[in-house]
Structure formats: C-alpha cells, structure tokens
Amino acid sequence: MASPRFPRTRAWLDETARSVWRIGWPRTDKDRAAVMISSFFLHLPPARVSRHVLRPSYTLGLGLISAILFGVLTVTGLALMLYYVPHPPEAYRSVMDLQSVVTFGVILRNMHRWSAHAMVFVVFLHLCRVFWTGSYKRPREFNWVVGVVLLLLTLALSFTGYLLPWDQLAFWAITVGTNIAAYAPVVGDQVKFLLLGGHVIGPMTLLRFYVLHCVFLPLAVAVLISVHVWRVRKDGLSGAPEGSKPVEETAGVFPPSTKTWGLMALTRRPTVSVEARDPEDEVFAWPHLLYRELLVALGVVIALHVVSLLFMAPLEEMADPTRTPNPAKAPWYFLGLQELVHYSAFVGGVLVPTLIVVALLALPYVDRHPRGVGRWFAPERRVANAIFTAVVAVATVLTIIGTLFRGPNWAWTWPW
Amino acid sequence: MSDRERDSTGGGRREFFLTGCAAVGLASAGFVVSTFRYLVPTVLYEPPARFTIGSPSSFPPGSVTFLEDRRLFLFNGQDGFFTVSSVCTHLGCNVKRAASGFECPCHGSRFDENGRVVHGPAPAPLAWYALSLSPRGELIVDLERTVGPDFRLKA
Amino acid sequence: MRDPQTAPPRLHLAFAALGLGFLAIFSWVFFKEQGAEWRSAQARFRKLEATVKNPHQLAQSAGAAGVRQVWLPDLDRVDRCTTCHLGVDDPAFAKAPALFRSHPGTWLTTHPVERFGCTVCHDGQGEATDYAHAAHKPIPGVARAMRPLETIEANCGACHRSLEPRGAPRLAEGRRLIVESGCVACHDIPGFEGVSFRGPGLDSLGYKVRPDWLEGWLKDPKGYLANSKMGNFRLSEAEIAGLRALLLSQKAEAPQVADVDWKKADSANGKALFGQLRCVSCHAVNGRGGTMGPELSRIGDKVRRDWLFSYLRDPHREQPDTAMLQYRLTDTQVRDVAAFLLEEYKTPGGEAEAAPAPYQDAPAVAEGRAVFVRRGCYGCHKLAGIRETGKIGPSLAGVADRDPDQLPYGGKPVRRTADNYIFLKVQQPDSLGAPSLMPTFSFAPAQAAKITLALASLHKADLPASRVVKEAPPTPYRPRGAFGELVTRYRCLSCHRIGGSGGDLSTVPLDRIGSQLQHDYLVAYLLNPGAVRVSVEARMPVFHMLPEEARTIADYAATTFLDDDLDRYDTRFTPAEVSRGEQLYRQLGCVGCHQLNLQGGYVGPDLSNTGQRLRPGWTAAWLAAPNRYKPGTLQPDYGLSPGDARALTAYLASLGGSTSRAAGKAASATGGGHP
C-alpha cells in the first residue's frame, strides 16, 4: 500500500479519534473485537457472533426493527413535543398547526403515527416468531415475560398517544377503550377513574395521557428493552446453527460450553457463557453484524418516509363530547376486542383479555417441554403451534371484521 | 485471506460503499438542516407587529395622541406624521409628555422632543417606528422597523 | 478461521442503494415542503405585484413572506387565508386573478382583516394553508366548509343581532318574516325575546263565525285567506271535529246587537261608506288593497251578521290588540256597511246564515280541548279555560350548530348540513321522516331561504360582548292624555310613524307635522281627508271624527310635533320676492308635476292652496334640500340658492286665497257625514 497523504494531519485526527473512542477505525482483528467492548454505543452485541445469526430468515430481524421503530418514535416524538400543547382545545390546534404551518411538521407527524402503528404490528409479529421457534423455553422464560410486558407497554404507549390529537377519532376511540377497561371486575371503575383523572374525558385526562405517553411509559420501555436485550446476550440466540452438534443437556445445569473466558480462569466452568457454538462458525460483529443492522435501519427509515409521504395521518374535527360518530371505533389493535364486546361485554372486555395476558405470561412456565427450540414450526411442538396459530388467526379475523366490516351501529357492512 | 477474496473486495465494491456513505452523509446533513428549520416558528401567537391605527384624518394637524394599548405617541407635526415609543429604555415604564420632550416617572429619565436622553439612567433614546400608509389610506405602524428622528410621513 | 475482514460485496451494493434511496426520499421531503401550495402562490403574487404596483409601494408587502395569520383570541380563531389571498386588502388588485383579487365592496373598511379575520363571515377552516384543507369546498371531517355567497348573511347575523340589521337585506327580511309569521308563539328564539305574536282571541267564536266556514278554515287556512299567517296544521277529521266543537261552544259575551232592523239596510250607502272609510287601505278585496288586515273577499262566508255589526261598531271591544281603528259611525251607518260587506263579498250561492246552535257534544269538546293543547294553539290564540303549558316548540337557540348527522332529511338528496335541515323543515315540516307538530306555512322558496338565513345565525357559543352589534329598538311611542286616547282610538300609529315607531303605510312621519302644516288646514284635513296627491292610491280614511277631536289633534301637533329650524324662518316676504318666485316657478317648470288652478301635472301635490296648507319654513327647507327630508323623492333638487328658495317660498305662500277651491274645502269643515 502506498503511504497515505497528509501524514501528520491524519496522525492528529487519529489521535483525537482515539481519545474519544479509545479504538481507532478497526483494521485488525484485535481492534474489531476491542471496539465492540470499549465503545458505549456498541457494547450491546458480543465481539463475535455465529455466522448463522446473520441469516435474516431466522429471526427476520423483527426485534431489531421494533427497537429501531422505538428509536424513530422517540426522536420524532421529542421533536413534536416542541409544538404540541397538551391542553384542549389548543391540543387540536397545535396538531393542525403542525400539519399546516410548521416546516416539515406534516412529515414528522405522519412518521410518528405510522411508526407507532408499525411498532405495534412488528412487536406482535416478533411475539409470533418467538413462539413459533419455541424460543421462550428454558432458559429464556423470563425474557419472554419481559417481552410480554413490553408488548403491553407498547399497546399502552399507542393508546395514550392516540388521544393526544384531541379530534373526534381520538376522543371516541379512547372513550370506547376506557369503557372496555371499565368492565374489569372490582377495579374496573377505579382504573377508569384514575386513567381519566375524573369521570369524563377532559383536560386532566389529556394531561395524564400525555405524561404517561412521553415520560413514564417510554422510560419503562427503555429500561425493559435494555433488560430484554441483556437477557438475549446472556441467554444466547436460540437459533440452532446448521450442522452443529445438538445441544446436550446435563440435568439441571446449562449446556456446557467449549469456550472459556480468560477472566474465568479461576473456575473450571464459565458461569455466564451459554452458547454452545463452534468457533469456526463465528465472525466479528464489526463489521458483519453491525453493517447488516445499519442496512435494516436504513430500510426501515426509508420505508417509513415513503409511507409518511404517501399517506396522511388522519385528523378529523375537534373532539365534541356531545356528538358521537357512528360507529365509534377503538384503535385498530383493540378492534378485535371491541368486536367481542359487541357480543358480550364481559367476555370481550374482561374475560378474553385477561385470559390472553395470563396465558402469555404463564406460557413458558407451563410448557416445560424442552424440545423444538430454535426451529420454525418444529414438529415436536405441533400441538402448541396449532393452538397458538388458531388463536392468532381468530384474533386477526376478529380485528379485520372490526376494522372493515362494521359500520354504523356496529352493523355488518361491506367496505366496498 | 485467499486471493479470490482479496479481489472481490477491491474495485467497484469500494465505490458502492463510498457512494452509500456519501449519500447517507448528505442525507444526514439535510436532516440537521431540516431539524433547524423545523425549530424556527413560522407563526407567532402574539399581537401583530404591523398594525393600523386609523385614518390620518382622525389625528388633526398639530396633535399628539397617546395610543395606550400600543404604547406609542403619534404626532402630526408640521412636516408630517411620526411616532415615538413610550417605553422607557431604562426599565420599560411608560414615559409621560413633559413641557418639552418626555419624562419617565419611574426613575426620572428625561428625553427631548426627539426622544434622545437628556437626563437620567436611561441608556438609549426612545425608539421611533416606521409609519406607512395602507392601500386603503390608513396609517400603519411597523414595530419591526425603527427609524431615525428625521422620519416624517406625509399623509 | 474463516473470517473475511470486510463485508461481502452485495452488502455494499445494498448500502449504496439504500443510501441513495435515503437521499432521494429526503430530497422528496424537502421538495414537498418547498413546493407547498402557499409558497408557489406567494411567488406568483410577487410577479403579479411587479406589474400592478408602483415600485415604492412594493415595500409595503416586503414583510409579507411566509405564513401570514390573524389571531383572534376573543373569537378563538386563527385565520391564515391571507397567506395566499395576498391582494385582498389592496384596491390596486381589483382586476387581478381571483386568488389575489381585492375584496369587493367596502366590507374590509368596516370589517378590517386584522380585527375580524376571514372565517367569521366566510366560514371554512382558517388554520389550514392549502386549498383543500381550508374547506373551500366541503371535505369530510370539517363541520364548517366555506359558505356559498348567497347565504353569507347568515354569518352577519351571528354578531348583528338587531331585528333589522343594515347592510344585510336578506337577513333583515328573514327576521321580519319570523316576526310576522309568529314563530315566537311556539319557539323560544334568541334575539326575538321582545317580540310577541297574537292571533285573534277565540272566546266568542261561536258568535263570530259560521260553522261551515270554521271547518274549511281548520282544514286549510290558505284556502280562505291566501296570505293567512296561520299555517296548515294537517289536522285529521276527528281533530277538526273536536276543535270545531270546542270553539263553537265558546260564548264568552254576546255581541251588542241591540235593535238592528236588517231589512232596512242600505247596501248602496254601505258601499259608499266603504269607499269613504278607505277600508282597502288595509283590507284587500278581490286581490287589490293593503295587507295590514285580512282580505275581505269572502267575508260573507265567514262571519255572522250580528258579530260583524258589533265589531264594526267597536273593534277594540272584540279584539283589544287589533290595529284597526274605531270610526265614529252611527248604528245605521254600521248596519249599512255590514250589510254591504256580507252581500258583496261572499261565495255566490252560499247558504243563508243559521242561528248559533248550542253545542252539547261533551266528548267532542273534550277532544277539541286536548287537540288545542297538544297542537299549541294557545301560543297564538287566547281561549278561556285552557291551561297554557309553555311554548310547544323546541327552543331554537343554537339551531345552526345542531349535529348534522343526527338530523333527519327525509331521504332528500341534499348535503347533510344544519342549514339544509332548517330549510327543509321550514318549508315542509312533516316531510322529514318523523311526525311533526309544526304547521305547514307554504312559504315561497325565496322566503324560506331568508328565514333559514336568519335561523342559521343562531349559534350555540356565546360571543364576547365587544363583538355583538345590537341597535336598541326604538322605544315605542305611547302618548298619554286626551291626545293619547285619540291616537289609540283612531290607531294613527298603524299607518304613521312617530319617533321611529309605528307603521309604514304612510310615507309621512309625523315628527314635525306641526311645523309642516298650518293648524287650520290640519283640522280641516282630519275631518275630511282629501287627495293631496292624485297619483297616490293610498288615502287617509274619513274618520267621521268630531270637530273637537280634530282640534285636539291639531293643537297637540302645533305645540309638540315641531322642528325649531323650520319655525325660525322669517316669513315677512316682500312683493319683489313673490314676483321673483313666480318667475322661478315658470322657469323651473314646476307646472310639469304640480297643479296650479286646474293646470299642470299630477305627479306632485296640488299647489293651489299652499298658502293655507303649508308653513313657509317647511316649504323653504323642502325646496332647498328635498332629499334630506324624503330620500329618493321625485322632487328634483335644483340646487337653489337660499335667495331663490325664499322667492319661491314667498310665491307659494301667496297662493290659495279665499277664492280658491281649497279655501272652500277648508271652510266647510263639518263633523260626521261628508259634503
């Protein structure tokens, strides 16, 4: 290689870079490993990953996409906070201003809304993926629980944010949603009273939802995402490498690893490493994993931009408590429940949601069968997969019915 | 590293990477610019800085009118109209008309007929604002344009 | 260890592609923002401005770049229309393309944009900055799209709350129609609190009307009276039978029949009296006449003889609130007029009048009472024994803001707006799907549209007091004492205005009549009102007033209805002035419109007796500036100098000596009868 030009400038830049990032641009294997450990922002992935991790077809990157969407939502949300006023009727007017006068306000609002809907959907897909690959089983039970809590928090974030534009759509969707919640036995009305900050949806409700939406829930989600990813690191990725030796289980203890860590030289068995993997399968996270993650991020952002440029986030007239639109629909992710509520308030409002949540949380502690982890639709898990798929299908159908096929007075209607 | 791999990393592949970097870099620069433009408010929820105060015939020649809610003195002098702010440049009280000039009751600043400081703690002269005529012939004050004491509007 | 140090080449390709895609998308975002509708509109305006305005004036709009808004915190509105409508306040753009054209008329002088914005008058969504979202045309999700210009006066009415707002003729007409049609009898309407509406009392209906007429009337009032104020209540046969039973059983007081020998009634005399009393000034017959009172074309079908006699003798006893005056007639004269009316104005071949039969049908009467209450008849008609339970119609407060999606439209193919609902309801109350108690008034579509305008100005939200414009209605003029009694008896205010209140049948307000007419002439005129203008149809009726009554009125006028400016005029004329006036009379061609000694035109009054009729101060003032006293008069304004006006006045004041015809009239003032 010829010697580079401006050697002294380059040397100075190099030293300054090193003072900030401790490692310069990695050019050796040692540096590639070190940069993953010494940089704060890069400390999440391990220094080396199984090359099979790089396959998109296993996890479909859904967890990553969820996290990217959360990041987009945080950034766009912070920007929107500079113009949004959380007090009716200025709330509506400020959203109108964002759409009509604020420079780039339209695209920002659209991006926030569409990424919110996308996040709910992607998180749901991620849950399905984890189930269908059996990745909730030991030792990942608690991570599954954290994930379910994250799902609920995501729904809560979307729900609290739905009210903020204070238009007819928002107001009545939240009316329906909080009324469904009120069906909970014993505590239902209290919960509704606390949520609303009163008996009716008014300025106090908006303020509570705003603070929940911008402070409490994002903090909780951020903390839990960190825990979630931490557990992924520690529990290891469940995708079984192709052609690798099947994992052997020793009664009651984690599978043995062929790898020892220098720091663990004092013990014979590592206490935290859980991956059974072949060193031959590994590649450095820098650049392989990170580059792919960057591409996924770019793709997601581009897709969000395109959607935001093509589709406007809805804004109807200002909320009017005296005029109910007919029909008044909950946000789309609750429309399956609203459809059930149409048949029976108790079943749809209390029974089914409780059952679903309890079932999801208890799942990894009930299903102790260790086989079938790491493969899509493993035959050993036929029954579990069948049950889950059936429930998902029913939920999807109910949601589609509620969205498209229900008109005024919740009567059947054709959407065309 | 085998030769095959080394070859495959040279040539146009590197160009793709650099193209990608350049594109993302440019887009990021645009992102920063758009963030800044986003932060600049485009509309202000305040009383307008340019406003009409009435037709010239409402202010007889030789008159001095104090427009209380606008904090302005409007003069219809020999050579034309001019307007002087009544906001004292010391700490913002309303000055009063004195025998000649203006006086501020708060800390005793005194100004001459042109608003220049004669006495007292005020650091700067009273502001003169631009006057103009609307297309319908009414007087417009523009608080965003200050003018010198030789400004007159003939109306 | 297989670990290539760099990523496979396809990833670099992907990175390049995605990077470029990202740049492309971001550029699209930028261009979308730059290409915002309002920016291109402002660019076009700059170009137009350079061709239209003086370069010095261009500095005016220098501060006009960017979104322009008018913020009205007291009205809770933000209007950004002027972001694109940049020339609206500048007369220089009168011929510009529509977007930049200056606002027509002088509306922006009285309603400057910075104090009113645009949407208070035009509706629409002022916060938007593009054509579609500003709701120039209706869009889903926006309640108030821009109003079509024909209905814009509805928004005038939101702030201008008086009953006759100036500058909004259709709105004023709509409010007038509401007052006249008696909507307040059933509905509480904000802004019409002081208005009351009463139909005739029904307490002696059994004596008043013929039963067969009553049935026809209840079925369809407009069948009898084309301009009846009562609407068609769409009553069923059973309801009509019940009401008929109820109303005909009312016999509060027997009319004063006394001894009337109907066989001796002289219809010819009645006809002459009918002409003299000028009944047609208020009552139309056969399609011609005034509209203050009901049409009399078929009065013979309706009323009983005895009642008509009693009524004509003293209308105020039967109907205390009526606008009709009480003539001073003898019983014979009353009998003759009644006989004439009943003979002349009826459907040919009708049945003779039957004696009133007592009604014994108690269930029918009870049913009638129930109908009377259920349909809210008591809103307009007093009837003894009925418990009035408040207005039966809903309050119309906020009617313009009712939820259009909850309103019925009767399946008609109209846009679902509150305005359309009001229009349909006013025209055809029972055609909107739900049964309605409201009668059908058969308004012409234009009338219904004006009423809709007036009702569409009734909003739910309150305006801040600084925005409401309500001229106080003139305090009604109620004179007292002997003069007051005469005014009440002869109902002067039904036709004349004094102090701003009264009727408009006469075009002569009486506020300065004492300074206009000479006292003796006025006395003579009241006793025998002749034609002042041949060409004008309306005439003052012959009241058959007593001489002392006429004198009381003239005395009062001479001391009270004065204009000091007119009375100060120096009436010592010289012969030179008189002859100069005669010269001017010829020069100006007054004979073209005015009669003088049987010569001349018929447009203006006969001037032969001016010396005894008019007071010179008035004549001089009138000649100098006729339009000041009667805007739009046919009398030309010659631009006379004060000297010339004085000369003409002197000449006219010399006319009408004792040899003239008019003097003869004045001398033969008699009471009762006629010369």
Task: Print the SS3 string covering C318-383.
Answer: HCCCCCCCCCCCCHHHHHHHHHHHHHHCCCCCCCCCCCCCCCCCHHHHHHHHHHHHHCCHHHCCCC
Q: Tokens standing for C247?
A: 């109303």
What is the arrangement of strands in the sheet containing B102-103, beginning at the earlier edge strand? B96-97, B102-103, B110-111, B117-119
Mean pLDDT across the stretch C89-99?
Answer: 88
In angstroms, how far is the first alpha carbon of chain A from the final one? Answer: 67
Tell whether the model's pLDDT for residue A81 goes beyond 50: yes
CA gyration radius for chain A? 25
CA gyration radius for chain B? 29
Q: Indicate the average pLDDT of chain C.
A: 87
Tell whether the model's pLDDT for residue C249 goes beyond 80: yes
Cβ of C403 within 8 Å of Cβ of A315? The answer is no
Cβ of B34 within 8 Å of Cβ of A105? The answer is no
With pLDDT > 70 as the criterion, what percentage of chain C qualifies?
92
From A224-228, B15-19, C391-395, the region with the lowest mean pLDDT:
B15-19
> C299: Cβ–Cβ under 8 A, 6 or more apart, which residues?
C308, C341, C342, C345, C346
pLDDT in tens, B46-90: 888 888 888 888 898 888 899 988 899 999 988 889 999 999 999
Q: Tokens standing for C108?
A: 């922006």
Residue of C522, C519, C547 lying closest to C670 (CA atoms): C547
Cβ atoms of C461 and C468 within 8 Å: the answer is no
Q: Kindly indicate the confidence band of residue A410, based on its pLDDT and cuts at 50, 70 and 90.
A: confident
Peptide bond into B61 cis (omega under 30): no
Cβ of A100 within 8 Å of Cβ of C18? The answer is no
> C4: Cβ–Cβ under 8 A, 6 or more apart, which residues?
A283, B1, B5, B9
From C338-347, C542-551, C663-672, the region with the lowest mean pLDDT:
C663-672
Q: Indicate the average pLDDT of chain A.
A: 84
pTM score above 0.90: no
| Domains of chain C listed by start with CATH number | 37-144 (no CATH), 169-195+393-467 (1.10.760.10), 267-355 (1.10.760.10), 481-563 (1.10.760.10), 566-669 (1.10.760.10)
CA distance A90 to B139: 33
> How far is C433 from chain A, CA to nearest CA, in Å?
19
pLDDT in tens, C583-593: 999 999 999 99
CA distance A407 to A415: 9
Q: Tokens standing for C333?
A: 């004269």
Q: Kindly indicate the confidence band of residue B123, based on its pLDDT and cuts at 50, 70 and 90.
A: very high
Q: For A53, which DSSP code?
A: G
Q: Is B22 on the interface with C (CB under 8 A)?
A: yes
Residue that has been written with the tokens 């149409």 in this structure: A342
Q: Searching chain B, which residue's CA lies closest to the CA of residue C68?
A: B43
Tell whether the model's pLDDT for residue C247 goes beyond 80: yes
pLDDT in tens, A190-240: 989 999 998 889 999 999 999 999 999 999 999 999 999 988 888 777 765
Residue that has been written with the tokens 């006219």 in this structure: C652
Cβ atoms of B71 and B47 within 8 Å: the answer is no
pLDDT in tens, A137-158: 888 889 999 999 999 999 999 9
> How far is C109 from chain B, CA to nearest CA, in Å?
8
Tell whether the model's pLDDT for residue A37 goes beyond 90: no
> How far is B51 from chain A, CA to nearest CA, in Å?
22
pLDDT in tens, C425-470: 999 998 888 889 999 999 999 999 999 999 999 998 888 988 999 8
Per-state percent for chain C, helix, strand, coil, to nearest 5:
50, 5, 50
CA distance A97 to A104: 11
CA separation, residue C296 to residues A107, C215, C506 (Å): 73, 18, 21
CA distance C490 to C509: 16
Q: Tokens standing for A72?
A: 């987009």
Out of C18, C69, C127, name the one closest to residue A299 (CB). Answer: C18
Tell whether the model's pLDDT for residue C354 goes beyond 90: no
Q: Is A77 on the interface with B (CB under 8 A)?
A: no
CA gyration radius for chain C? 35
Calculate the CA C508 to chain-centre distance: 18
CA distance C539 to C512: 20
pLDDT in tens, C603-646: 888 888 899 999 999 999 999 999 888 888 889 989 899 999 99
What pLDDT shows up at residue C32?
87
CA distance B65 to B84: 11
Tell whether the model's pLDDT for residue B5 goes beyond 50: no
Q: Within 10 A of C628 (CB to CB), how many other CB atoms are there?
A: 11
Residue of A68, A96, A99, A101 to mutate when probing chain C, most C C-beta within 10 A? A101
Q: Indicate the average pLDDT of chain B.
A: 85
Q: Searching chain B, which residue's CA lies closest to the CA of residue C59?
A: B132
Residue of A372, A304, A368, A414 lying closest to A69 (CA atoms): A304
Q: Kindly indicate the confidence band of residue C60, based on its pLDDT and cuts at 50, 70 and 90.
A: low
Q: Kindly indicate the confidence band of residue A386, based on its pLDDT and cuts at 50, 70 and 90.
A: very high
CA distance B35 to A179: 39
Using N-to-C axis directions, what is the helix angle for C481-490 and C547-560, rounded to 10°?
A: 120
pLDDT in tens, A230-286: 888 887 777 655 444 444 444 444 444 444 444 433 334 433 444 445 566 677 777
pLDDT in tens, A332-352: 998 888 888 888 888 888 888
Mean pLDDT across the stretch A159-176?
Answer: 93
What pLDDT shows up at residue A233?
83
Q: Within 10 A of B8 (CB to CB), how many other CB atoms are there?
A: 14
What pLDDT shows up at residue A291?
86
Residue of A119, A99, A101, A118 lying closest to A109 (CA atoms): A99
ipTM: 0.80
Beta-bridge partner residues of A318: A167
Residue type, A305: H
CA distance C361 to C249: 9
Peptide bond into A139 cis (omega under 30): yes
